[in-house]
Amino acid sequence: MTTTPEKTPVQTPLTAPGEILHTGAADYPGLDEWRRLPIRQQPDWRDHPDFDAAVGELSSNPPLVFAGEVDKLKRRLAKVAQGEAFLLQGGDCAETFAGATADKISARVKTLLQMAVVLTYGASLPVVKMGRMAGQFAKPRSSDMETRGEVTLPSFRGEIINGFDFTEESRHPDPKRMVQAYHTSAATLNLVRAFTEGGFADLRAVQQWNKGFMENPAHARYESIAGEIDRAVRFMEACGADFDGLKRTEFYAAHEALLLDYERALTRIDSRTGEPYVTSGHFVWIGERTRELDGAHVDYLSRVHNPLGVKLGPGTTPEDALALIDKLDPQRDPGRLTFITRMGAKNIREKLPPLVEAVRDSGAKVVWVTDPMHGNTITAKNGYKTRQFDDVMDEVRGFFEVHRSLGTYPGGLHVEMTGDDVAECLGGSDIIDESAFDSRYESLCDPRLNHKQSLEMAFLVAEALTQVK
């Protein structure tokens, strides 16, 4: 028996059989099969007068990432699958066009780098760094429509599709937004590459990353680790060591491959190998609501060569997990497939073991990542969507406990976070309570860990990882 993820209506196939639209990767066999399959969570915009032009423009634009980088990431993830590295994925639930500013991007990258330093130093493991960034613009929704008072309008689906403002005009899907998402992603990626390659990520500046953040216990602990790293780096320099790994870092871009019109238009054939790659980001994942085995998303992503993630919620059966492996990673290629589990703190100790055991016994080598956010969402008394920091931490602990007891490797952490001092998740050592939401809640979608909560989480994970090794 297979279970299906949360139900929203299945839409009818988007084109008539045999009809091929706007292929970025022209007529590569099978790439348009998804158009004939049931698909969820897509806007109904094929007849919009701007649809063809938007898809045409994306199809002829340059790729955002290169296949060679994507392959390198797959090799890094193979190390994670073998227990020799750890994967850190973090960023907004939903990026916004207005949020793509230098300040916000640098704060987010800086926070991820700080978390990575804590993990690398604390657990003596290489950390693969990846942002939910430069493409995280499309959101699955539990309902197609939203009602406020007397008014019912289409739900907000992420700025790549429609606007957040609750007006008829803003909520109308607009295909030109895909082009804006592409350009915003390009600008974001450009800045991230400049930061991480051009000196900003230099470990000799590790103490400076903390500047501008207020005092709190997580920051004080970070300062002390940063001081130790600083001394170690200076010692190596004094000995004449000068290696590149200290000065720059690899940083990868990831997002949910939800909007298939966009992903298809940005698919390119790699000239080296003749294989198709999604070039909207290095790593893409299939969400909990669109991971049906016979659906369009699983089919499409089975045909591209990027490393893939699949979110697995508490309804996942061992048979579902094994069938996803057969479909998405038939060659059992380490690094190809990452399972991102989002069970909820209450479920993880019961629901995760049967999945991990079945996969382990099948001999497949997937990367196991915990997303401790999406199974722990609650509504606060004042109406905001939020999460308790303690629940989030408890799911992470449960994830490590399960892997420890089964002798498998807990390979990574996937969090919704920001570098800013927002108030969206409750708790943390510098306690956030509901009264702060009115002035410091900025997310258009799910609540994120703020800077301090993110660092605190990194310390917990570093400690847990030390026990694994």
H or E segment to which residue 278 belongs? strand 276-278
Which range in 31-39, 162-170, 441-449, 458-466 contacts Mn ion by CB under 5 A? 441-449
What does 342 bind: Mn ion, ligand PEP, none (CB cut-off 5 to 8 Å by kind)?
ligand PEP
Q: Is the separation of the CB atoms in 59 and 32 below 8 Å? A: no
Q: Is the separation of the CB atoms in 162 and 170 below 8 Å? A: yes
Number of residues that bind ligand PEP (CB under 6 A): 10
Q: Is 201 left (phi over 0), alpha (psi -120 to 50) or beta?
A: alpha
CB of 256 to Mn ion, least distance (A): 9
Residues 147-186 that bind ligand PEP (CB under 6 A): none
CB of 5 to ligand PEP, least distance (A): 8
Q: Which of 10, 41, 263 is nearest to 141 (CA)?
A: 41
Binding ligand PEP (rule: CB under 6 A), the pick from 288, 292, 329, 424 is: 288
What does 427 bind: Mn ion, ligand PEP, none (CB cut-off 5 to 8 Å by kind)?
none
Which CB atom, from 113 or from 415, has the smaller least distance to ligand PEP? 415
For every residue of 425-466, DSSP letters joined together read SBBTTTTB-GGGHHHH---SSS--B-HHHHHHHHHHHHHHHH
Encoded one letter per residue, x for contact with Mn ion by CB under 5 A and - for no contact, window 39-78 reads ----------------------------------------
The burial of 144, by beta-carbon neighbours within 10 Å (0-12 exposed, 13-18 middle, 19 or more buried), is given as middle
Q: Which of 309, 307, 456, 311 is nearest to 396 (CA)?
A: 456
CB of 447 to ligand PEP, least distance (A): 11
End-to-end CA distance of the chain: 37
What does 311 bind: Mn ion, ligand PEP, none (CB cut-off 5 to 8 Å by kind)?
ligand PEP
Q: Is the separation of the CB atoms in 384 and 438 below 8 Å? A: no
Kindly report the number of other CB atoms within 10 A of residue 202's CB atom: 15
Q: Longest C-alpha distance within the chain, in Å?
A: 72
Which range in 71-79, 202-210, 287-295, 396-404 contacts ligand PEP by CB under 6 A? 287-295
255 binds ligand PEP (CB under 6 A): no
What does 71 bind: ligand PEP, Mn ion, none (CB cut-off 5 to 8 Å by kind)?
none
What does 288 bind: ligand PEP, Mn ion, none (CB cut-off 5 to 8 Å by kind)?
ligand PEP
Binding ligand PEP (rule: CB under 6 A), the pick from 311, 351, 403, 451 is: 311
Radius of gyration of the chain (CA): 21
CB of 323 to Mn ion, least distance (A): 25
Binding site for ligand PEP (CB under 6 A): 93, 140, 256, 287-289, 311, 342, 374, 446
Binding site for Mn ion (CB under 5 A): 93, 446
